[in-house]
Amino acid sequence: MLRSVILAAARSPQVARLVETAPVSRGVVRRFVAGPATEDALAVTRERAAGGLRVTLDYLGEDTLNAEQAMHTKDEYLTLLARLNAAGLTPQAEVSVKLTALGQMFDEKLAESNAREICTAAAAAGTTVTLDMEDHTTTDATLETLARLRADFPTTGAVLQAYLRRTEADCRELAVAGQRVRLCKGAYKEPEAVAFQSKIDVDKSYVRCMNILMSGAGYPMLATHDPRLIAIGEDRAKWFDREPGDFEFQMLYGIRPEEQARLAALGYSVRVYVPYGDQWYGYLMRRLAERPANLAFFARSVATKK
Ligand SMILES: Cc1cc2nc3c(=O)[nH]c(=O)nc-3n(C[C@H](O)[C@H](O)[C@H](O)COP(=O)(O)OP(=O)(O)OC[C@H]3O[C@@H](n4cnc5c(N)ncnc54)[C@H](O)[C@@H]3O)c2cc1C
């Protein structure tokens, strides 16, 4: 309920202006976002790599409405990949890309050609790309783009959202050799016709999808902070004889860092999703919507003007 209210309010331009301009927002943002610049992304990558973690870097931005902005986002990814390569960090780092940040909302061909350039740069740097999944109106287009990119860049990763009713079927399609699939619960406000609404139904769907991916031939990336689902993931790894290099856990920057370290210390591959850049509004609102405690943290910061 609270989640729906926050996600709905997040689409109001007035709320956006209020949050974006409030001086306190910056402090809260730094809990979930590495910083505004490429250098911030590199610094967090170095630090996480030293702690035995991997990262996937997301240059923040979504719902891009003009070609200039889409090209700017693409160029930033090219710069980032070149700098990761020069710093010798590509064994530990890949990038996550939102097709709407590359122009998908107004020109699907442009978005795909931008994504292709990023995949080419990633391959040259010795790493790869995962296509983030956005709201359900983009799912088909994103999976179609993924299939075309995979023909030339087979390691390009997909994201599937357990809250969508279609996702079990999508997992079956994508549980094939070489396919990297990140399984997450899903972060957008979706109608009942396409998505499970209650936590228990979403969690059950997550387990069904995890079973398909972990027993399949692909490379599952279990993206969740949920202790119960992480325990089930560990169990399925044993059950399906998956070594640490055959799948990975993923979590978001700033969320449950002790758990990230604990899993890495046990020998699991753990990747942290690290967003950076100054277009943080949509990302921050989804994190606030996920957890009342995150909202309380925001409210406390406002009250104490930190
Ligand atoms: C690596 C990664 C990539 C993602 N990519 C996408 C994407 O492409 N598209 C998309 O729609 N969504 C994406 N998401 C977001 C995802 O869909 C969920 O919205 C988000 O991960 C919250 O779901 P959860 O599985 O952590 O479970 P929740 O139901 O939110 O949380 C379950 C439990 O986890 C624990 N927990 C959660 N947050 C905290 C916290 N801050 N501190 C302590 N404990 C906590 C609590 O015990 C909580 O009860 C991604 C998530 C991750 C981790």
pLDDT, tens only, 142-166: 999 999 999 999 999 999 999 999 9
Question: In whole angstroms, what is the distance from residue 212 CA to residue 174 CA?
Answer: 10
Burial bucket for residue 243 (CB in 10 Å: 0-12, 13-18, 19+): exposed
Structure tokens at 101: 């940040």
What is the value of pTM for the model shown? 0.93
pLDDT tens per residue across span 161-208: 999 999 999 999 999 999 999 999 999 999 999 999 999 999 999 999
Between the alpha carbon of residue 141 and those of residues 206, 221, 275, 302, the distances in Å are 22, 21, 23, 39
Question: In whole angstroms, what is the distance from residue 58 CA to residue 46 CA?
Answer: 16
Q: What is 90-134 written as a DSSP string?
A: TTTEEEEE-GGGGTTTT-HHHHHHHHHHHHHHHHHHT--EEE---
pLDDT tens per residue across span 232-290: 999 999 999 999 899 999 999 999 999 999 999 999 999 999 999 988 888 888 888 88
Query: In the block, which residue shows the tokens 């040259």?
Result: 124
Ligand 1 center–CA 253 separation, angstroms: 11
Structural contact between residues 32 and 275, judged by C-beta atoms closer than 8 angstroms: yes
pLDDT tens per residue across span 16-75: 766 767 665 677 788 899 999 999 999 999 999 999 999 999 999 878 999 999 999 999
User: Mean pLDDT throughout 220-225?
Assistant: 98
- C-beta 250 within 6 A of ligand 1: yes
Counting every residue written for the chain, the total comes to 306
Number of separate helices (H) and strands (E) present in the chain: 13, 8
Ligand 1 center–CA 152 separation, angstroms: 31
**Which of residues 103 and 293 earns the better pLDDT score?**
103
Ligand 1 center–CA 161 separation, angstroms: 11
Query: Which ligand 1 atom is at minimum distance from the Cα of 229?
Result: 25
- Residues carrying an active site annotation: 132, 182
pLDDT at 83 over 80: yes
